[in-house]
Amino acid sequence: MNTRIEHDTMGEVAVPAERHWGAQTQRSLENFKIGGQRQPREIIAAFAYLKEACARANAAAGKLTEEQAAAVAAVCEEIRAGKWEEEFPLVVWQTGSGTQTNMNVNEVIAHLTGERGVRLHPNDHVNASQSSNDTYPSALHIAAALAVERQVLPAAERLAGAFRSLEEAYPDLIRIGRTHLQDATPLKFAQEVSGWRELVEAPCRMLRASLEELGRLAIGGTAVGTGLNAPRGYDEAVCGELRRLTGFPFRPDGNKFHALTSKDALVFAHGALKALAANLMKIANDIRWEASGPRCGMGELRIPENEPGSSIMPGKVNPTQCEAVTMAAVQVMGNDAAIGFAASQGNFQLNVFLPVSAYNFLLSANLLADAMDSFRTRCVEGIVPDAEKMGENLNSSLMLVTCLTPKIGYERAAACAKKALHEGTTLKEAVLALGLLTAEEFDETVRPEKMV
């Protein structure tokens, strides 16, 4: 392998000749051969937004020339477009402040601008007015906010829309309800689906609320929150550039000592992701239970048949999209534990669990967005209720007795239900055998359409 020699304050390092990173990136690559999980691409894109904004703010403050800032901006735009993905090889499991990733970005930008005739030093120019201690937390918030706004919320809105369409398609279909996994009183199928829709929409409101706090950035705090080496007003200037670049209302955190050491905003936002995951688990379980069968289960829903379900049982088809959603939900719940533990470890002026927090948050966001789109297109949009099976279960349910309580009282109604259950008769037969109502009175009273 052809190499070139790069240097940093610790000495010289051989770097692959074709790569644009420098000595500090190479040291990290060699010192942290752990796991293999690379820094999320969303973090690198967030750094590219941040470095461009910082360069523009530094130019306005007289710390960089307009030519230098423009060169940084041009490279950052290419990084965000994915042109240089192989130049960012560092793993999650590195220094807890993400220093090496910050320097990886600085070195790549400096080398690429140098190839274009603008010589920049990764620390003195690209990292001017910054520290890894305020850039990585800021990039983390940028990546998290944009992932929620651009990935999770749109996917959730599409899924909620699919449920709304299902509601509207079957406005009058009545089915038996179930509580404690036992028969309950009737409801409309559309009412049940409206509950599924709200299970998606409610966490979306929580996620939108979390964006307020994710929009607060640590940038300008530099090493410990004092803003050492950053010009006055630098934090607002950077956030102004970020607002222009992303369209998101980023603003400086008013207390940089909080911003550098606390990850409470991330915990809050991921809590909303966990709430969404929990609700998706419930929806997917409902659907796969109600679609169970085809002949020996509930069988009240028909869902798309996407692939063979067994290597030994011919003709078997399984609710695989539901299973994928529930697995993703389990992973998100595990990620939430990791983020909570990581956030609790902000010692003194810095939290040093930043890369693992970023990795888990962005994994959750990606999983949920992808799972919701897959679930929607390959399951929800193809759901067809089996009206005949729903009607059969509805009419055989003993919990229709509930509507008799105002006429014959709770205890007599319970006696009717128990008699029918123990003797294997219909509810109507039990009521008539006990002489509590006439057939006409029963038919007039027990009408499911009046119970919903």
Euclidean distance between CA atoms 230 and 364, whole angstroms: 34
Euclidean distance between CA atoms 362 and 269, whole angstroms: 11
Euclidean distance between CA atoms 71 and 239, whole angstroms: 20
Residue 396 · residue 389 · CB < 8 Å: no
Joined together, the tokens standing for residue 133 give: 């201690």
Residue 135 · residue 47 · CB < 8 Å: yes
Give the active site residue among 7, 121, 310, 396.
Answer: 310
Give the active site residue among 180, 210, 262, 344.
Answer: 180
Number of other residues whose CB lies within 10 A of the CB of residue 357? 29
Phi, psi angles (nearest 5°) of residue 91: -85, 165
Euclidean distance between CA atoms 369 and 360, whole angstroms: 14
Q: Cα–Cα distances in Å, from 199 out to 160, 275, 329, 373?
A: 9, 9, 14, 16
Among residues 294, 224, 230, the alpha carbon closest in space to that of 259 is found at 224
3-state secondary structure at position 226: coil
Q: Cα–Cα distances in Å, from 449 out to 70, 75, 218, 219, 427?
A: 69, 65, 58, 60, 17
Task: Give residue 149's identity as a one-letter amino acid code.
Answer: E
- Cα-Cα-Cα-Cα torsion 90, 94, 97, 101, nearest 10 degrees, comes to -10
- Cα-Cα-Cα-Cα torsion 166, 172, 173, 177, nearest 10 degrees, comes to 100
Active-site annotation holds for 180:
yes
Residue 87 · residue 108 · CB < 8 Å: yes
Residue 362 · residue 144 · CB < 8 Å: yes
Helix 132-147 to helix 189-214 angle (10° resolution) is 160
- Residues forming beta bridges with residue 222, ordered by sequence position: none
Task: Give residue 247's identity as a one-letter amino acid code.
Answer: G
Place of tokens 């670049």: 245
Residue 88 · residue 44 · CB < 8 Å: yes
Active-site annotation holds for 310:
yes
> Peptide bond preceding 294: is omega within 30 degrees of 0, i.e. cis?
yes
Catalytic residue IDs: 180, 310
